[in-house]
A and B are shown apart, each in its own frame.
Chain A
């Protein structure tokens, strides 16, 4: 990982454009960070032991509120909440 071609592929996946002049520098930094991440390979985890005592902070699904429909703020507060490009009531976006 983290050859120049790998970084270009990753940029494509992440929808990011990085100029050719910066690719090598980015590649070096990402290589450094991934090497740092490899630290976790040193740890062997026993899954059973790991999750046996784990108490979750999150709520259970049945504790969640029902979904409700909020008011449409695009219509009620146009002044602050608008799309950047609109024409004849339609939102303008790039071609699909």
Chain B
């Protein structure tokens, strides 16, 4: 079968378990697919072919011997290159970590392995997760599978582009200010940022600890549920994980329709988006009305201050987190012999890319004496106010609906030297990170030039099931899992 790559993870896993196809045969076909397609997309940084073929053979042996297999048996999953996989490089797409090999698995990787998933490689991204286009990578930009001249979105651009271009059915990304949802919207796939504390961050290279979460990117809700159930849960190595017994499921359309969810529409954010985006979102809202959902317009009073608040907190945490990169424990070949301490660090740390340097400098500034109260402390207070606003909103609504990104994908290089314009791309996604709430980007359709458009749903803490229900509904109507780029 030459078009295995079009199958979702759950479809192929079923075939492997039924012995209609072997895991080894399937993985070899996917390796061919990656070798053919990724020369165009540039989504992979490193590949794990030898180990993954061995693991596929082990899955086949288990099935043959009638041993129990995991829910992800035989499914290739690719991982953003800021998540540690033992024995593989974790570069964060930075020259600073070009030779760093992880000595241990992130908790999410151990959980995937326990379910017999195949970790097929590490994915391109904006350096240390700092960017919204995946152009700030020392391995070159990720290209959008729907139009190779356009950006894929970021920072998990490799994670979204690899799934959209059918190189893998499932990938993991990390989301600090929209880094899963933005590229998912630009590449027409589903991307979920879970509630803060749902998924362990142990083994994730920290950028902004209080904002970021690991989450899945998939083409269908049928792959979303098993991967989310696998990676969520309390972890001894991450004290911010919560002890909630979370188990998600795909409900029937009938039972979803009976729930008649109350949906709050963040109209101001929709109106401030490009016309083609707002038009398509209003069609989705009409659909919700047709099935009997209560739909009301609402707003976040402090959303005008959210973006500055987010960037103050994110850069402050980044300047602290990235101070660990001193080229003594992690780094590249540049001997410290003969250097004075400060001059050596300044020298080697100049290997950070421009955007990372900019964020470290800004972060150092907002934390420095005399400016801490003006910027950082005030930003933390505004964050509290925004969180409180969401708590109040979710007393009235089950979910909130808003755009994922207010603009359409654009050409590679078009905005790379305009940081503020790039920051404004995050205006709809950072709300979920500041408040710790779950949010999902769902494919909505395409503009007249065939560029993907997504929309976003947010729910209250630990209510990912409501998001899953609505994705299930929209997928049943739009069949977006069958929207595939010609690549």
Contact = CB atoms under 8 A, between A and B. Distances in A.
Is chain B a partner of chain A in the same complex?
yes
Interface of A: 1, 7, 10-18, 26, 29-30, 32-34, 36-43, 45, 47, 50-51, 53-55, 57-59, 64-65, 73, 77, 80-81, 83-85, 91-96
List the 3 shortest-distance A-B pairs measured between CB atoms, nearest first. A81-B103, A94-B344, A94-B339
Given A1-B365, A64-B239, A73-B104, A33 B420 contact: yes
A43 B305 CA distance: 8
A10 B197 contact: no
Contacts of B379: 40
B391 interface: yes
Given A40-B305, A73-B104, 4 more contacts: A13-B364, A53-B388, A94-B343, A95-B338
A85 B345 contact: no
B368 A40 contact: no
Given A15-B345, A37-B366, A65-B239, A83 B329 contact: yes
Given A16-B360, A80-B87, A50 B197 contact: no
A26 B361 contact: yes
A57 B436 contact: yes
A18 B357 contact: yes
A94 B461 contact: no
B201 to A, nearest CB: 13
A33 B419 contact: yes
Contacts of B186: none
5 contacts: A30-B362, A50-B385, A80-B87, A84-B328, A94-B341
A12 B349 CA distance: 12
A26 B327 CA distance: 24
Contacts of B387: 54-55
A41 B388 CA distance: 20
A36 B361 contact: no
Contacts of B101: 80
A15 B349 contact: yes
Q: Which of A32, A54, A55, A84 has the most CB of B within 10 A?
A: A84
B468 to A, nearest CB: 21
A67 to B, nearest CB: 10
B340 interface: yes
B336 interface: yes
B361 A14 contact: yes
A13 B86 contact: no
B333 interface: yes
Contact of B197 (A11, A54, A57): A57
The size class of the interface chain B forms with chain A is 35 or more
A73 B104 CA distance: 9
Contact of A94 (B102, B345, B350, B423): B345
Contacts of A36: 308, 311, 420, 423
Interface of B: 86-87, 101-104, 196-197, 236, 239-240, 242, 302, 304-305, 307-309, 311-312, 319, 323, 326-329, 331, 333, 335-347, 349-350, 352, 357-358, 360-362, 364-366, 368, 374-375, 378-379, 381-382, 384-385, 387-388, 391, 419-420, 423, 436, 461
A60 to B, nearest CB: 11
Contacts of B382: 40, 43, 45
A83 B100 CA distance: 10
Given A59-B240, A94-B345, A53 B358 contact: no
B381 A45 contact: yes
A73 B329 CA distance: 13
Q: Which of A29, A40, A55, A73 has the most CB of B within 10 A?
A: A40
Contacts of A77: 103
A63 B270 CA distance: 41
B305 A7 contact: no
B350 A17 contact: yes
B305 A15 contact: no
B268 to A, nearest CB: 16
Contacts of B305: 39-40, 42-43
B336 A94 contact: yes
Contacts of B308: 36-40
A80 to B, nearest CB: 4
Nearest to B331: A84
B257 to A, nearest CB: 32
A62 to B, nearest CB: 12
Contacts of B461: 57
Contacts of A40: 305, 308-309, 312, 375, 378-379, 382
Contacts of A41: 374
B340 A92 contact: no
A10 B361 contact: yes
A33 B366 CA distance: 11
Contact of A84 (B197, B304, B327, B384): B327
B349 A33 contact: no
A63 to B, nearest CB: 8
Given A37-B312, A94-B340, A50 B384 contact: yes
B311 A37 contact: yes
Q: Which of A16, A41, A50, A54 has the most CB of B within 10 A?
A: A16
A77 B86 CA distance: 11
Nearest to A55: B391
A1 B365 CA distance: 9
A73 to B, nearest CB: 6
A64 B379 CA distance: 27
